[in-house]
């Protein structure tokens, strides 16, 4: 197990990061020394713009690759060094990389993101706003707990939008979209159950889900970057614009500009339904989902893809997720009306 002065490393990173004046570009371990390379913000962003593929490169580099980057940016770069005795184990390397990443801006691979929105939130009084937000927060927590107890753990992250949450899963293992869609279904079931108890309807919540890249920025607290944070990117923009078109009580799946995510999401819906069946009794509701479909001219059904035209000429493809929610009372289940029937 390697031994290094974590406090000294953090202090140096903190000083050179300077509240976002610089960002980490790369780090390496060479000759028992952890070395971290930081660039000024403008140079960092210019490098990323000129070479978009650099966003996808890990922060950890080989000593030779790190040295090449340092030589390339010799005039503007700052270097942090910390002596490290011994070899870094796998978990140590992962934890060290996560610590250093707090001082960087990272771009995710295409991953699923959910956007929950409380319909008509601004028309509610302060007490009702609190009630709705608390119900949604509880529903998310119950859904996450249920999946974890059934061996489908998530590294769940969320950031508030004021009247809802962006939610994503930081776990690197697949199938992330199945986990997150299962979370979506269980959250709706829990929120619906609470709504029946508290006196607000199932149409108080609307949800959009999609797959895309996002930049992750770390939250600052007491002047230091924290492990959690917030996300921004094409996927958050797409979901926000689709949310403006989403009717209360409905769920829209963002398919990407060319509809390229439809096969991946269709497969995830099937898998999510299977996982959710294991959690029905815990949520108090049995909920299942299917993609909205329309008849094909030659017979059969095809996905009922909808086109939404947003501001500035953007066109988004989306698909309604039709849900059926059923009350669970022990082993017996009593059918109820669909939570949200497809539009159009």
Q: CA of 43: how far to CAs of 16, 40, 76, 97, 208, in Å?
A: 15, 5, 8, 22, 35
Closest CA to 45 of 19, 21, 14: 21
Q: Same structural domain for residues 162 and 93?
A: no
Least confident of 53-57, 71-75, 88-92, 246-250: 53-57
Q: Same structural domain for residues 99 and 160?
A: no
Least confident of 7-16, 44-53, 168-177: 168-177
* Among candidate residues 84, 105, 126, the one where a domain is terminated: 105
Q: Same structural domain for residues 153 and 290?
A: yes
Compute the distance between CA of residue 113 and CA of residue 290 in angstroms, rounded to an integer.
Answer: 19
Better-predicted residue by pLDDT, 70 or 202: 70
| pLDDT tens digits, one per residue of 66-90 | 999 999 999 999 999 999 987 788 8
Phi-psi region of 125 (alpha: psi -120 to 50; beta: other; left: phi over 0): beta
Q: Report pLDDT for 330.
A: 45
* Among candidate residues 105, 120, 137, the one where a domain is terminated: 105
Compute the distance between CA of residue 238 and CA of residue 324 in angstroms, rounded to an integer.
Answer: 26
| pLDDT tens digits, one per residue of 140-184 | 999 999 998 888 888 899 999 999 999 999 876 655 899 999 999
SS3 323: strand
Q: Same structural domain for residues 115 and 76?
A: no
Q: Same structural domain for residues 118 and 27?
A: no
Sheet holding 224-232, edge to edge: 106-107, 215-221, 224-232
Q: Same structural domain for residues 232 and 96?
A: no
Q: Same structural domain for residues 315 and 234?
A: yes
Q: Report pLDDT for 171.
A: 74
Compute the distance between CA of residue 106 and CA of residue 103 in angstroms, rounded to an integer.
Answer: 10
Q: Report pLDDT for 175.
A: 57
Structure tokens belonging to residue 25: 């570009």
Give the pLDDT mean for 102-129.
Answer: 93
What are 323's strand-pairing partners?
Answer: 289, 340
Q: Report pLDDT for 338.
A: 37
The HSE-up count of residue 227 (CA atoms within 13 Å, CB side) is: 9
Under the banding of pLDDT at 50, 70 and 90, the label for residue 14 is very high
Q: Same structural domain for residues 80 and 126?
A: no
- Per the listing, tokens 């992250």 go with 157
Determine the angle formed by the axes of helices 176-198 and 126-149, rounding to 10 degrees: 130
Q: Report pLDDT for 126.
A: 95
Under the banding of pLDDT at 50, 70 and 90, the label for residue 200 is confident
Compute the distance between CA of residue 333 and CA of residue 281 in angstroms, rounded to an integer.
Answer: 10
Q: Report pLDDT for 174.
A: 53
Number of domains in the chain: 2
Q: Report pLDDT for 211.
A: 95
Structure tokens belonging to residue 4: 């290094």
- Residue 13: partners with Cβ closer than 8 Å, 6 or more residues away: 24, 36, 38, 80, 100, 103
Give the pLDDT mean for 257-265.
Answer: 92
Q: Same structural domain for residues 229 and 121?
A: yes
Structural domain including 24 reads 3-105
Q: What is the CATH number of the domain that holds 247?
A: 3.30.70.1230
Stated as kind and residue range, the H or E segment containing 230 is strand 224-232
| pLDDT tens digits, one per residue of 278-331 | 776 555 568 899 999 999 888 888 999 999 987 777 889 999 999 987 765 543
Structure tokens belonging to residue 76: 């503007």
Phi, psi for residue 285 in degrees, rounded to 5: -140, 140
Phi, psi for residue 336 in degrees, rounded to 5: -125, 175
Q: Same structural domain for residues 80 and 157?
A: no
Better-predicted residue by pLDDT, 334 or 289: 289
SS3 342: coil
Is 111's pLDDT higher than 80? yes
Is 4's pLDDT higher than 70? yes
Q: What percent of the chain has pLDDT over 70?
A: 92
* Among candidate residues 70, 87, 105, the one where a domain is terminated: 105
Is 332's pLDDT higher than 80? no
Phi-psi region of 293 (alpha: psi -120 to 50; beta: other; left: phi over 0): beta
Q: What percent of the chain has pLDDT over 90?
A: 61
Q: Same structural domain for residues 64 and 157?
A: no
Outline where the chain has alpha helix (H).
Answer: 6-17, 41-50, 63-72, 90-101, 126-149, 176-198, 234-243, 262-277, 280-283
Q: Report pLDDT for 333.
A: 35
Q: Same structural domain for residues 166 and 313?
A: yes
DSSP 49-84: HH-GGGGGS-SB--HHHHHHHHHHTTTT-EEEEEEE
Q: CA of 198: how far to CAs of 99, 191, 217, 283, in Å?
A: 42, 10, 36, 16
Structure tokens belonging to residue 63: 């000593």
């Amino acid at each position: 197990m390697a031994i290094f002065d974590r406090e000294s490393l953090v202090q140096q990173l903190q000083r050179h990061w300077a509240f976002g004046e610089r960002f980490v570009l790369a780090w390496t371990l060479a000759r028992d020394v952890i070395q971290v390379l930081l660039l000024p913000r403008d140079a960092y962003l210019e490098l990323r713009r000129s070479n978009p593929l650099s966003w996808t490169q890990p922060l950890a580099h080989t000593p030779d690759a790190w040295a090449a980057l340092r030589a390339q940016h010799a005039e503007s770069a700052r270097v942090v060094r910390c002596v490290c005795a011994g070899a870094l184990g796998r978990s140590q390397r992962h934890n060290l990389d996560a610590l250093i990443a707090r001082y960087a801006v990272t771009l995710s691979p295409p991953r699923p993101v959910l956007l929950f929105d409380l319909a008509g939130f601004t028309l509610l009084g302060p007490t009702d706003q609190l009630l709705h937000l608390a119900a949604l927060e509880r529903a998310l927590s119950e859904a996450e707990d249920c999946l974890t107890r059934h061996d489908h753990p998530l590294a769940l992250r969320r950031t508030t939008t004021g009247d809802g949450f962006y939610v994503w899963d930081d776990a690197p293992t697949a199938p992330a979209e199945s986990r997150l869609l299962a979370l979506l279904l269980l959250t709706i079931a829990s929120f619906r159950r609470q709504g029946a108890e508290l006196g607000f309807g199932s149409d108080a919540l609307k949800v959009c889900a999609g797959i895309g890249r996002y930049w992750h920025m770390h939250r600052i607290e007491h002047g230091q970057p924290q492990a959690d944070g917030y996300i921004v990117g094409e996927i958050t923009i797409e979901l926000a614009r689709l949310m403006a078109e989403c009717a209360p009580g409905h769920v829209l799946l963002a398919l990407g500009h060319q509809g390229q995510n439809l096969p991946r999401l269709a497969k995830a819906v099937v898998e999510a339904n299977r996982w959710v069946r294991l959690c029905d009794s815990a949520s108090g509701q049995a909920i299942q989902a299917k993609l909205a479909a329309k008849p094909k001219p030659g017979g059969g059904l095809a996905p009922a893809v909808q086109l939404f035209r947003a501001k500035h000429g953007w066109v988004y493809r989306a698909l309604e997720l039709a849900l059926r929610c059923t009350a669970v009372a022990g082993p017996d289940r009593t059918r109820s009306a669909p939570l949200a029937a497809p539009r159009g």
